[in-house]
Structure 1
Amino acid sequence: MVDFTTPLGPLTLANPLMAASGCFGYGVEYKDALDLSQLGAVVVKGLFMTEREGHAPPRIVETPGGMLNAIGLQGIGVHRFVKERLPELRALGATTIVNVCGVTLDEYVEVCKVLSDHEGVAGIELNISCPNIKEGGIQFGCSLPGTHDVVSAVRKATNLPIMPKLTPNVTDVASFARAAEEAGADAISLVNTFLAMAIDVETRKPKLTNVMGGLSGPAIRPIAVRMTYECRQAVKIPIVGMGGIANAADVLEFMLAGANAVQIGTANFADPFIWSTVMADLEAYCTRHGITRLADLVGGVDIPKKKAAPAPACRPS
């Protein structure tokens, strides 16, 4: 028997596997494919105060190593969510974390206040890192003072656990992790997608109507693992790692780098039943290595220590 219990700040998840925001709808769409209560958590699509149409198609492009998207944070808005989706998620036994968006700092605060008044919300993932909208989140996520300000403001507005989602489109992501921790974040999630572009060589036009979008999938995994490791060295709060996770080995790689839990996103499009396979393979790995508690692997990467250079030989004078 393996203990998959995953401490995540004030939360305790049944296991470390979370459905990534933007890749799992509002969760209820998958109720006939799997038991949502068996996931560590469901992170629902990003919510603003009001409904949002997003960008015009085409807004998804496959790449050799993943997917490029510029959905534009289409969503039903927080009021429709708490009325139409949240009761069903609650009935299905899902641990629900809501991805919160905002154009202004005040909007982040107001959305979180609405969510705080409704039973069934386990936590908030602050989306301050979407690369394919021109306003809002990314303005905060690419500024150290902005990151601190939005986390601090939301911290004062809600008692729900707060987990800012960090952008990889900065020079030093660890400094943003520290800013979030200092502002009162209970955990951080990383990384969001990388700003990228694809061009149709026949038409000589961008493949996305938004011109640029966010790259996800296996192509970004080694960079995301590195950033997870860097953030683990910088902060003490829990980390949720993501970026191209497609199997149990990928999950373990992120955990060894320092992630307490992970989110699976792009791979879910290819295989909506990936969750049971990953869990079974994690259990097999633990059994093979005599591991009884999966959380014991967090931050366990074995980094070889550099050997000191030998002292130069003394020549007789």
Structure 2
Amino acid sequence: MAEMSITLGDARLPNPIMTASGCAANGKELHRFFDVSLLGAFVTKSVMADARSGRGTPRMAETPSGMLNSIGLQGPGIQAFVEHDLAWLKSVGARALVSIAGGSSTEFADVAARLRASPAFDAVVGVEVNISCPNVANRGLVFAIDPLASAKVVALVREQLPRDMPVFAKLSPDVTDIVTIASACVKAGASGLTMINTLLGMVIDTERMRPQLGGLTGGLSGPGIRPVVVRAIWQVRAAMAEGRFATVPIIGVGGVRTGRDALELVAAGASAVQVGTAVFNDPTAPVRVLRELEQLLDDKGYAAFTEAVGAAHHH
């Protein structure tokens, strides 16, 4: 079978498949279905400095081939996270890619510093910076739509972490030119990019003639967004190949249900793939996608997963 291990920064992972942030809580729930240490990395739910109750209900709405969620970054805060969730992930041998969030660039840095100081930090293989949350200081605009705001967050987080700790900026697709944002993040010190976060959407309940979600708008995820993911990864990978900014690994995420879906993201330029929404109706989806991807690579004659990364760009 094809060799599946990958290197992300200084972290060696047994395979390129991960969960997507927010789709499997912080591991315990999914661990009932399969051993989470089998994944290349387990991506945690975005954690902020303090505990948050999140948005009003209802928080989810189904859409054709996808769903909207409007959770509002509910969570226990960084202190409870490192004491309970991260410690638990370490205890079962999982590799954690910790997603951090903040309402200001200094909050991101504070969360990163507290993560670094935690006893279970050696279970962390990277930090995913969720810049798709609103910047409280700037009229609630999302950091990820502004190259300068994105770069500032990445630079401040980078300062708080060891030099060899990979930092992945998670990009929003709700921008005119995702390459500009990707470039700003890499130049500010991001070791890689996670692409993409959900697309902003809305559902109206035509019985009540009112928006279905308590928070009005929500993030669209699921198979319906996969072509957007493939396009975004392709554009950024092509810009790297042209030398517009340094070539760094891309973690692809969005609408992956099967090994074939994962391979599409990989061919576009993803060095690793996250499985998210699929987990809601098939909790074993990440390990199944891994098996299917491995078989597909083998069938196509690839000796190693890394040989397939960006293959669609090579004429």
TM range, smaller chain: over 0.9
**Which string of whole-angstrom CA distances, capped at 9 and with x for unpartnered residues, describes residues 148-204 of structure 1?**
111111111211321110000000001111111100111110100000000011111
Q: How far, CA to CA, are the matches of 2:313 and 2:144 in structure 1?
A: 31
- 1:96 maps to what in 2? 96
- 1:210 maps to what in 2? 215
- 1:164 maps to what in 2? 169
| Number of matched pairs | 302
- 2:151 maps to what in 1? 148
- Contact 2:129–2:167 (8 Å) recurs in 1: yes
1:245 is matched with which residue: 251, 256, 279?
A: 256
Paired residues for 1:1-317 under 5 Å: 1-118=1-118, 119=121, 120-130=123-133, 135=136, 139-159=142-162, 160-235=165-240, 236-301=247-312
- 2:243 maps to what in 1? none
Instruction: Report the CA distance between 1:210 and its aligned residue.
Output: 0.8
- Structure 2 residues not aligned, in runs of 5+: 241-246
**Which string of whole-angstrom CA distances, capped at 9 and with x for unpartnered residues, describes residues 217-266 of structure 1?**
01110011000001112230000011100000010000000000011100
Change (3 A) 1:39 1:190: same
TM-score, normalised to structure 2's length?
0.92
Q: How far, CA to CA, are the matches of 1:206 and 1:251 in structure 2?
A: 33
- Contact 2:131–2:170 (8 Å) recurs in 1: yes
Q: How far, CA to CA, are the matches of 2:223 and 2:39 in structure 1?
A: 22
Amino acid of the structure 2 residue aligned with 1:246: R
- 1:307 maps to what in 2? none
Q: How far, CA to CA, are the matches of 1:303 and 1:292 in structure 2?
A: 17
**Which string of whole-angstrom CA distances, capped at 9 and with x for unpartnered residues, describes residues 27-67 of structure 1?**
12222211111101111011111100001110101111101
Change (3 A) 1:185 1:302: closer
Instruction: Report the CA distance between 1:135 and its aligned residue.
Output: 3.6
- Contact 2:125–2:166 (8 Å) recurs in 1: yes
Once the two structures are overlaid, the 10-residue window that deviates more, 169-178 or 281-290, is 281-290
Q: How far, CA to CA, are the matches of 2:111 and 2:227 in structure 1?
A: 34
- 1:68 partner SS: strand
Q: Give me the identity figure in percent.
A: 40
- Contact 1:10–1:186 (8 Å) recurs in 2: no
CA RMSD of aligned residues (A): 1.5
Q: How far, CA to CA, are the matches of 1:239 and 1:138 in structure 2?
A: 25
TM-score, normalised to structure 1's length?
0.92
- 1:145 partner SS: helix
- 2:214 partner SS: coil
**Which string of whole-angstrom CA distances, capped at 9 and with x for unpartnered residues, describes residues 270-307 of structure 1?**
10011332222222212222211011100000576xxx
